[in-house]
Structure 1
């Protein structure tokens, strides 16, 4: 086979020279030349075509190192390599020109982009030189050129990947990862928020590629925001741009991250929400957050806890069948972890307790490390039985019937580390008998009647033990009470319910109102054991005690529903992350509150919320109340229209009520509200309830799009 030089190769040679000059002009001129729209379209195809010259350059460079024995085959290889290198150089030039045009668009800043542009030009020149020098008499020159071209190709690709996917994208899998930070040393922004932004956002919002004028690499850049305005408003996630963009429908062009990019998980969205809600501080340590704070709980699940020495046990697991047999309604035995040998025992219902229920566990005495007998009628004589459980580490005898006379018996337990005697009448002399307990580390004695001097004496005697005596206000400072706690597990009831409130501090008076007024510490009624509630009631309560500041008020609603349906079917499934527990969400007795990310709301935006309700038998109804949410900043509006249908046959329902709630206003506060739909008394076995999402008004950033509509509970009266 014989190859002859043809005219198109000469034309390709001249074209290669021309595109080199054109690329050089674009490179030097930068943004001083206005590119036509059609050329911008070609520029945006740069990521699509760049792989083609990469393959050709690498293949052509490899062929320069191949020498065939047959002269004719070698001539064919030489001609093929020439064509391959010409096409590689021309396609490299086209790719570089596309990239230079793309780099002129908004969102590409200085930094890696400049290095990428220089690298692209260097690859073009190396590829062109490789083609022009392919037949150089000394073969070492084209071979060296191929190595240089491929090296430049790899370096330039690395810079390009950094622009598209963030810094160090190529080498990230082989780059040592930073050591996980213990929870106790972590900062909320640095170790929780920033990693989410780096993984999901900074590929488009970095120093080299600041889409929308927004870079997220530094705190000051986050605070500055971009062309769309401030990224977030500290303390107000509902009005923060970042939360609005995250909750837009996926097909919306303003939804972030864009479709096709990795999306934030529900936990990551919650993390940003609670960080902004807490003030969006960049230096707050995780340990400064309250123990029950939502952000603290997320941190605990994402960060490495402090390294601690796990206890080792030198005993084998108990027989699973035996453990199951020893469980009953009043006593539970379970392992400390799945498949672990150590066991824990808890007791319930003091009226059913006797010491036999403890001695029955003696077959497990080699595995039981914790016993929780608090509030059980344990007697002093029972200490001998407890002392037989030689593996015990934790023993809770708080508020039992022991007097402390036989307390020294517990010193026979060689591993006992924590002993709770709170709420018992133990004395100083009895506690000092624990001095010989070999492993004791914690002793709980609050509410024992011991004086401060007694406690100090115990501490001197038991130097190795931490004495826990509860809160003592030795300086006499006036402190603020925490809020009362409601014990009712659901906000919705049938017929009637008993309101139950409590406060952990002894001697606190809980004052309340149910007439809509604010409670005060003098005139409002004092809450006793319980309060009968027979209708929809808003309860407000405060905690009061002499020498303390009154607590902040707590407010909650108790809502009555006369009938509970047999089933609720959702015709259209909830959208996004707002799926809660499906149809059962509407009758589970749980109100969603004002936090739309707490997993208690059903959300719809593209489709109508349509719920089909079935009652086990015909019921007389005259109203349906729908719990919904308004949060204009998060694109959540009241429904445009509500329809209530009812009847005895699901195929022949009649319209009972049609309602158009008021249109949302720009300054509407975030509020959970109940919409009551009243209609003439009707016997129904089936109902259909529909809620149509509103269209976002002209003043809203998402104007013309569908708003979200949320629902949490249906009441039937």
Structure 2
């Protein structure tokens, strides 16, 4: 034992001298490639000193015997000190190779050196320390704190700022209203903070690039300017975003959270528009692409929380399964549905999935992105029978595994980017009844193979992503309907524009979606003298068509002198007075929680309209909402009664609107009810909700909702 201690002590002393040499002459050293390999072992070795030092410190707080036991404790202190010094040396070598700079890197480096010195002193002067108990305990407390804080700095370097505390802190930022937003501070900077500053901040200045403020962006890094205003295609920032994921220069690195398509499009449009900084968003031209994208980004659609027929899981069970590498959260407030995210490629095993099976009924979203998930694991995933959203991006799943997903009948969204999926395997899962979107970019499936699949399964959106092969096709932004929707008197003209030149705008006036062939071609403002629902798309050769934009225009009718509720709307979707129905403001179909809609589910919607002077109405127009995912359907039946007062009425008209089909998009509805000619002072309008949702709906049998925004008497 003495020989081992003597040899080990000599190695420890020599290692300590070498470490101090690296510290003193750091700025003059250039390491060979074989030492660079050694430096990269730092993350593997750092766990040894943490554990061994803490155990050896703990022995100073408990009584120990003498003799052989103390010999082994001395050996423990030697190994702990030696591992601390070796880890610090490897960390110094790694820092010499890495060009990163910043406060956190500097703090972590000096923290590691301090731990090595403390470990060396603890071993070398142990005989002195045991004679001074109070001082020794204080020494171990300081050393333990140094280990913890140094580890925290290391986690920030490898995983991003505030990695340890991030799960318990608020993740979602507050969005600034578009009319008050500043271009850089409220749109661009939040994107950079969420996806870029973990590597490019004052705490970690990788590549000499600072992205915390506009000054850093303009200064660029060691590779040169980050962007050229007005020239996004030649800007370094955009080029790095579009590099293949496995390219080491791709930004952000593959191990970090990636920019969404919307975020990438915003950066591109911002640079193309000249990279404004202090300008207000609404100071940009109304048709500016960046303004259009940023407005949509700052005003995301309010998600509809679906209703599920299964019970919530035991909260204690969920809490027990949550850990640093598996996060389980409810899909929404008071929702029994669960969303699960798994992390940690190096520690993932099939057991992490198997442990989820007690929650198999409640899990509706599962994210396994970039984990070594294999075909054998699919048999576990298939047991999650209510799963709606599954992310298998960059996993080891092959075509054989993908084919097994055909039993997940409630699956709505599947992401297979970066996997070995094939076109035949994809064809076997596209018939899934609820499937709406599949993502297969960065796979071996080419456009020739996808074309027949897209034609055969037109109800499923298949995303192939951005591929810069010299023949780039990207989606156009939607056209802009300049004329505000609402009530008009006699006649009006509708003006539609698009910021790009040479774009064909196709539109319809009956609420049906236009396409590049059958839609009316917009050439000049459209004159209308009756109520219409306009839907428009933009098309251009070499581009994908835009998403549709919709607006309703309703011709003014007889204004009632007063309105009263016969049945009041649901308190969640109510108004103080029924005057909302004749205020001339049409509800936004993309947001039914904004106070512009009256909602009914448990009873019919019924109103009295009173006219002081006799009127002879010809029809009633109802502006309503259809959102099948939110259980909002047209009414099953509408009745219009009229007479000289409430006690003397006759049925003047009725309507049974068409029941929506599966996968129809959310939209504004205008239903016209033709009336029998009659003079009257009073109208009674009754809308009956759908009593039972259709068999194809995931809440079949439940009652539907009616949402109503405007009633016009013509």
**Larger Rg, first or second structure (1 or 2):** 1
Same fold at TM > 0.5: no
Query: Which interval holds the TM-score relative to the shorter structure?
Result: 0.3 to 0.5
